[in-house]
Structure 1
Amino acid sequence: MTQDATPAGQDCIFCAIVAGQAEASVVHEDDTVVAFMDLAPVTRGHLLVVPRTHAVGLEDLDRATGAHVWSVGHDLTRALRRSTLRCEGINVLVCDGEVAFQTVFHLHLHVIPRYAGDGWTLVPDTAERERALLDGDARAVRDALASRG
């Protein structure tokens, strides 16, 4: 588990929802995940897809569960587009770690319907990076991929 790990069942609201011990407006559940409406939505229809197994971040999630979280999220994007909520776009987002804006330390996929003029923005302060620096970053990631067990 990562540094910010919350043991399953110990004050984890998502573990409580998965266990049926806390309220949620559930839209989908199966043996692997539960998907429900975000209590503090960015926009109307904002959904969360949460694995039943407690995992703080992506590093703690097994590959099969991660693929299923994404698959259910994909199905939910289709459902949102076909629903009477009439969204015009969708953001799919994982916040992994406190510096990445994660506030509940049980991995979850945000599926956020977007509407013209909804007021929510992602405006990064970006600058083009030199090729040599990009190549060095790519090498670091390749090395990490090669060393995984």
Structure 2
Amino acid sequence: MADCVFCAIVAGSVPAFKVVDSPDGVGFLDTRPVFKGHVLVVPRTHVVTLPELPPADLPGYFGLVQRVAAAVPEALGATGTFVAINNIVSQSVPHLHTHVVPRTKGDGLRGFFWPRTKYADDAEATAYAEKIAVRIT
């Protein structure tokens, strides 16, 4: 879709700090992460919500989400992850995307109030992306 920023990231016409680029989807750092290392995983095809994702694409897409969710704690020393999808409400980009957020006990995240942070610069974002990318199997 021409005006979708996530489609542009998938196509490579908009830069992103990618952690994985596979036939099943693309994972890249959120530019406004809840915590550093927060990854968005998107399917390659443009669909707005999870119910629109073709059933045949579910195993590959969620397999990719699962791989990212395994890589993030290992790469960043986190205890676990929070994995979430918004459908329409709170969906800032109308392209299906799954949040994979690193979590550690006592990190301050409560309920669905997500304070946001920023990377110091592109070098820091690149370092986080690379740490996660090497752990995706």
Give yes or no for TM over 0.5: yes
Q: Tell me which residue corresponds to 2:110.
A: 121
Q: In the alignment, is residue 93 of structure 1 matched against residue 96 of structure 2? A: no
**If the length of structure 2 is used for normalisation, what is the TM-score?**
0.76
Q: Is 1:89–1:113's contact at 8 Å kept on the other side of the alignment?
A: yes
Q: Could you report, residue by residue, the CA deviation over 1:33-67 in whole angstroms, capped at 9, with x for unpaired residues?
A: 01111111011110011011000001211012232
The answer to which structure, 1 or 2, has the higher relative contact order (CA under 8 A, 6+ apart) is: 2
Deviation per CA, 1:89-126: give whole Å up to 9, x if none. Answer: 2111010112xx211110011111112332222169xx
The ranges of structure 1 where at least 4 consecutive aligned residues each deviate by more than 4 angstroms after the TM superposition are none
User: Equivalent residue of 1:113, what SS?
Assistant: strand
Secondary structure of residue in 2 paired with 1:48: strand
Give the distance between the partners of 1:121 and 1:69, measured in 2 at CA: 27
| Mapped partners of 1:123, 1:24: distance in 2 | 25
Aligned length: 113
**Superposition map of 1:1-149 within 5 A:** 8-10=1-3, 12-83=4-75, 85-98=76-89, 101-122=90-111
Unpaired stretches in structure 2, ≥5 consecutive residues: 114-137
Q: C-alpha separation between the residues in 1 aligned to 2:23 and 2:30?
A: 20
The structure with the larger Rg is: 1
Work out the CA distance in 1 between the residues paired with 2:39 and 2:21.
13
Q: Which amino acid aligns with 1:9?
A: A
Amino acid at match of 1:72: L
Structure 1 residue aligned with 2:120? none
Unaligned runs of 5+ in 1: 1-7, 125-149
Partners in 2 of 1:59 and 1:74 — Cα distance? Answer: 19
The SS at the match of 2:59 is helix
Call closer, same or farther: CA 1:110–1:123 in 2, change over 3 Å.
closer
- Secondary structure, in 3 states, of the residue corresponding to 2:82? strand
Alignment-mate amino acid for residue 80 of structure 2: G
